[in-house]
Amino acid sequence: MLIYPAIDLYAGKAVRLQRGDYAQMTVYSDRPEAVAADFAAQGARQLHLVDLEGARSGGTPNLETIVAVKNSSGLFCQVGGGIRSMDAIAAYLDAGVDRVILGTAAATQAHFAARAVARYGARIAVGVDIKDGFAAVKGWTEKSPLKAFEFCRRMQSDGEPTLICTDISRDGMMQGTNVALYKTLSTELKMRIIASGGVSSLDDVRHLAALGLYGAIIGKACYTKAISIAAAIEVAQ
How many angstroms separate the CA atoms of 179 and 11, rounded?
33
How many angstroms separate the CA atoms of 196 and 218, rounded?
7
CB 32 within 8 A of CB 38: no
Nearest Cα to Cα of residue 178 among 188, 168, 164: 168
Alpha helices in the chain (DSSP H): 32-41, 52-57, 63-73, 86-94, 104-108, 112-120, 148-157, 179-188, 202-210, 220-223, 229-236
Active-site position among 8, 51, 158, 204: 8
**8 among known catalytic residues:** yes
DSSP at 212: T
Active-site position among 129, 158, 167, 171: 129
Helices and strands, counts by H and E, the chain: 11, 12
Just list the catalytic residues.
8, 129
